[in-house]
């Protein structure tokens, strides 16, 4: 699971986003008619619950992997954060205090 500190995740979730991911074909959704979509940019689509507003999914346009917001999952998730991404855009009101890898942008080596 990643913690994304990008401007878009911060504004949408109110803090940083924590998400795991799975190939689209591995995800089954009950109540798909309740999903709304929002595209802040042409780069990705975010899906949310139109009933309660919960942030649920993020998917880059043209890519098969779907990020699943960890906070939307029933407990226990069994998940752990592996690294931080887009820390260059993080909010100025907190520090990252764990020792996990942290990348200024995406987690690709620079």
Residues of the shown chain interacting with Zn ion in the complex, contacts defined by CB under 5 A: 4, 6, 9
- Judged by beta carbon, residue 62 or residue 76, the one nearer Zn ion is 62
Work out how close the CB of 49 gets to Zn ion at its nearest, in angstroms, rounded to a whole number.
19
- Judged by beta carbon, residue 6 or residue 56, the one nearer Zn ion is 6
Work out how close the CB of 18 gets to Zn ion at its nearest, in angstroms, rounded to a whole number.
10
Long-range contacts from 37-40, C-beta under 8 angstroms, 24+ separation: 40/8, 40/12
């Amino acid at each position: 699971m990643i913690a994304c500190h990008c401007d878009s995740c911060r504004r949408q979730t109110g803090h940083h986003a924590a998400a795991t991911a799975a190939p689209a074909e591995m995800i089954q959704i009950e109540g798909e008619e309740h999903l709304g979509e929002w595209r802040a940019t042409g780069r990705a689509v975010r899906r949310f619950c139109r009933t309660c507003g919960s942030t649920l999914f993020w998917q880059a346009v043209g890519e098969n992997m779907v990020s699943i917001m960890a906070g939307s999952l029933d407990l226990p998730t069994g998940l752990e954060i592996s690294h931080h991404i887009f820390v260059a855009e993080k909010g100025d009101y907190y520090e990252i205090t764990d020792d996990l890898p942290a990348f200024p942008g995406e987690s690709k080596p620079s």
